[in-house]
Chains A and B, each alone.
Chain A
Amino acid sequence: MLKFTDEHEWLKIEGDVATVGITAHAAEQLGDLVFVELPEAGTALDKGATAATVESVKAASDVYCPLDGEIVESNQAIVDDPALVNSDPQGAGWFFKLKLSDPSAVNALLDEAAYKELIA
Chain B
Amino acid sequence: MNEDSPLKQTPLHALHVSLGARMVPFAGYDMPVQYPAGVMKEHLHTRSAAGLFDVSHMGQVILRPKSGRIEDAALALEKLVPVDVLGLAEGRQRYTLFTNDEGNILDDLMVANRGDHLFLVVNASCKEADFAHLQKHLGETCELTLLDDRALIALQGPRAECVLAELWADIATMRFMDVAEAALHDVPCIISRSGYTGEDGFEISIPAASAEDVTRRILEHPDVMPIGLGARDSLRLEAGLCLYGDDIDTTTTPVEAGLEWAMQKARRSNGAREGGFPGAGVILRQFTDGAGRRRVGLKPEGKAPVRGGAPLFADTEGKVPVGTVTSGGFGPSADHPVAMGYVDIAHTANGTQVFAEVRGKYLAVTVSALPFVTPTYKR
Task: Give the interface of A toward B (CB within 8 A).
Answer: 31-32, 34-35, 37, 53, 55-60
Assess A34 versus B38: contact at CB under 8 Å? Given A57-B234, A60-B307. no
Of the residues B233, B303, B359, contact of A58 by C-beta under 8 Å:
B233
9 cross-chain pairs, A with B, having the tightest CB-CB distances, nearest first: A32-B40, A34-B330, A57-B39, A57-B330, A58-B230, A55-B305, A32-B38, A57-B234, A35-B304
**How many A-B pairs fall under 8 Å by CB?**
45
Other 6 A-B pairs with CB < 8 A, given A35-B330, A57-B231, A58-B233? A31-B230, A32-B40, A35-B337, A55-B304, A56-B330, A60-B307
The answer to whether A34 touches B359, judged by C-beta atoms less than 8 angstroms apart, is no
Distance, CA A53 to CA B39, complexed state (A): 19
- Indicate if B10 sits at the interface (CB-CB under 8 A): no
A-B contacts, 11 of them at CB < 8 A, read A31-B40, A34-B40, A55-B305, A57-B230, A57-B231, A57-B330, A58-B230, A58-B234, A59-B307, A60-B305, A60-B307
Interface assignment of B332: CB less than 8 Å from any CB of chain A: yes
B interface, by DSSP: helix, strand, loop or mixed?
A: mixed
- Is the pair A31, B330 in contact by a Cβ cutoff of 8 Å? no
Residues of A contacting B38 in the complex (Cβ-Cβ under 8 angstroms): 31-32
In the complex, what residues of A have CB within 8 A of residue B326's CB?
A: none
Using Cβ atoms and an 8 Å threshold, which residues of chain B touch A58?
33, 39, 230, 233-234, 329
- The chain B residue with its CB closest to the CB of A86 is B38
Provide the B132-152 mask, 1 if CB < 8 A to any CB of A, else 0.
000000000000000000000
Q: Which of A31, A37, A57, A60 has the most CB of B within 10 A?
A: A57
Q: How many residues of B contact A (CB 8 A)?
A: 20
Which chain A positions have C-beta within 8 A of B39? 31-32, 56-58
Q: Is the CB of B34 within 8 A of A55?
A: no
Closest to B329 in A: A57
Given the known interface contacts A31-B34, A34-B330, the answer about A57 and B43 at a Cβ–Cβ threshold of 8 Å is yes
Q: Which residue of A lies closest to B34 (CB)?
A: A31
* Chain B residues whose CB sits within 8 angstroms of the CB of A57 once the complex forms: 39-40, 43, 230-231, 234, 329-330, 332
Q: Which of B15-63 contact A (CB under 8 A)?
A: 33-34, 38-41, 43
Instruction: Say whether A35 contacts B230, CB under 8 Å.
Output: no
Contacts of A32 in B (CB 8 A): 38-41
Q: Which B-chain residue is minimally distant from A55 (CB atoms)?
A: B305
In the complex, chain B residues whose CB is within 8 Å of the CB of A53: 359
In the complex, A56→B305 CA distance in Å?
9
- B229-250 contacts to A, CB under 8 A, are 230-231, 233-234
Rounded to whole Å, the gap between the CB of A38 and the closest CB of chain B is 12
Closest to B330 in A: A34
Query: What residues on A are CB-neighbors of B43 within 8 Å?
Result: 57
Complex Cα spacing A60 to B325, Å: 15
CA distance A39 to B359 in the complex (A): 13
Bound CA–CA A31/B228 (angstroms): 13
CB distance from A66 to the nearest CB of B (A): 20
CA distance A107 to B118 in the complex (A): 68
